[in-house]
Amino acid sequence: MAQFTPHGKHLIGGEWVAGETTFASSPAHGPAHDYAVGSPELVARACEAAAAAFDAYAATSREARAAFLEAIADEIEARADAVTEIGTQESGLPEARLNGERGRTTGQLQLFAEHIRKGDYLDRRTDKALPDRQPAPRPELRMMQIPVGPVAVFGASNFPLAFSTAGGDTAAALAAGCPVVVKGHSAHPGTGEIIAEAVKAAIESTGMPKGVFALIQGGDRKVGEALVTDPRIKAVGFTGSLAGGRALFDLCAARPEPIPFFGELGSVNPMFVLPAAAAARADEIGTGWAGSLTMGAGQFCTNPGIAVVTDGPDADRLVAAAKAALEKVGPQTMLTDGIAKAYREGADRMNRSNAVQPVLTTESAARNASPNLYETTTDAFLSEHQLGEEVFGPLGLVIRVKSADEMERLARGFEGQLTATLHTDAGDAELARRLLPILAQKAGRVLANGFPTGVEVADAMVHGGPYPASTNFGATSVGTLSIRRFLRPVSFQNLPDYLIEGDLA
């Protein structure tokens, strides 16, 4: 495999820039490297460059931007071995996962290239003039979506490629015509750097403005605060914790010019196992749930942390099958020491709670995590708010309900979610019809007879949901609809023919 030695610099205005201080990476394995520390001053330089690039970049043709996105994808693939090498070292994720995530990352870029070539995202509308209308004539109106301006993107800890430097937020913003300033995640700075190298190469080969993309590495809380409060930033894409995302959201709202903050903040993704489905295949569902729960050490925002099932022998079978499958899962390496520590603290809270009964408890040490499983009742869950809070990792909670009415009451009691799942058979039709509209109000994606881990990048995908799953229930961070976050509609009235050109024509 190719050897990659990072230089540890920021990318600003098309140039690699050293910082005054450095921090050492903390890889799961392999050598540590030093990286420049971000600062508010460097953020200001990157935002200035992005603002300077905006007019020219927004005026590029859809074909030119599509070619730029495809060039980024090609440059990433040209560095495939090096991306996998540094990515596996930093994250502890296996090669197969990194390779798959790289494919998803380049696939997103190519999908957005195809999407903007079609032009449908512009949502162009024309109302022809009616000069003879009574009692007053109607002017000609042309409406079209235009880019909002420079966008800030925060890299995610759990997806070093698909939700980070050139991930979905960056791809959507660049496709829309918006320059991007990325705050790299300190958990995978080398991965961020090599992807930034790919973007830089694509900028140069396609002749795009140098300030159209920047990467600011590391830095403390002040770096993120400086980025979202810089007056040249017009929107923010964020994937991370509820506490961190809410703090940045509040800063965006408090600006003299408030801007939209599109934060994807996590979810417990409840799974409702209806009675007929439980009777037919409780063992299968329990085993499948355990597999989804522990995939990637449970470090997915769509991890189904809660299973709801009617109490009785079928629930016993589901729990027994899940426990048996979880017992076969050994310790898994987590993405960072901090995430592993937070997982242990979450399991400790559950172990100390009088509202749950342990089914399977394990000891997790250092950067590893092992599965934990608990049971509770509807009343206990609804009275203990912390039971509905995400524990990031392979921890599951079974809620045993007494009746269909209680299952409905529980569904209504959930906060906003990224996903909700129904396991249902034909005999569950009446209850499924009762629950479906409730779950649609609670989640951005409702599944039937499956598991939510795995988010398809497609036109019809929604990865978002009511708060606290995300800060904007009308948006998605995955799929082509996500481009709408970085566009705004403008109506043009009675333009003369010589101004009706380009996408307006």
Round to whole Å and give the CA distance between 70 and 436: 39
For the CA atoms of 146, 152, 154, 160, the dihedral, rounded to the nearest 10 degrees, stands at: 60
HSE, side-chain direction, 13 A CA sphere, residue 218: 21
Torsion-angle region of 56 (φ positive above 0: left; ψ -120 to 50: alpha; else: beta): alpha
Round to whole Å and give the CA distance between 415 and 423: 20
In the 8-state DSSP scheme, what is residue 348?
A: H
The answer to whether the beta carbons of residues 184 and 172 sit under 8 Å apart is no
252 catalytic per annotation: no
**DSSP for 82-148?**
HHHHHHHHHH---HHHHHHHHHHHHHHHHHHHHHHHH-GGG--EEE--BTT-SSS-B--EEEEEEE-
264 catalytic per annotation: yes
Round to whole Å and give the CA distance between 93 and 84: 10
**Positive or negative: CA dihedral 118, 122, 128, 134:** positive
In the 8-state DSSP scheme, what is residue 498?
A: G
The answer to whether the beta carbons of residues 26 and 190 sit under 8 Å apart is no
Between the alpha carbon of residue 294 and those of residues 333, 373, 388, the distances in Å are: 12, 11, 18
CB atoms closer than 10 angstroms to residue 266: 26
Token readout for 205 is 């080969």
SS (H, E, C) 246-268: HHHHHHHHHCCCCCCEEEECCCC
The single residue listed with the structure tokens 């995400």 is 390
Catalytic residue chosen out of the listed positions 70, 90, 197, 264: 264
468-494 burial string, b = 16+ CB within 10 Å, else e?
bbbbbeebbbbbbbbbbbbbeeeeeee
Catalytic residue chosen out of the listed positions 47, 178, 252, 301: 301
In the 8-state DSSP scheme, what is residue 403?
A: S
Residues, the chain: 505
The answer to whether the beta carbons of residues 375 and 359 sit under 8 Å apart is yes
Round to whole Å and give the CA distance between 75 and 296: 27
The answer to whether the beta carbons of residues 191 and 164 sit under 8 Å apart is yes
The answer to whether the beta carbons of residues 249 and 261 sit under 8 Å apart is yes
Q: Which residues are known catalytic residues? A: 264, 301
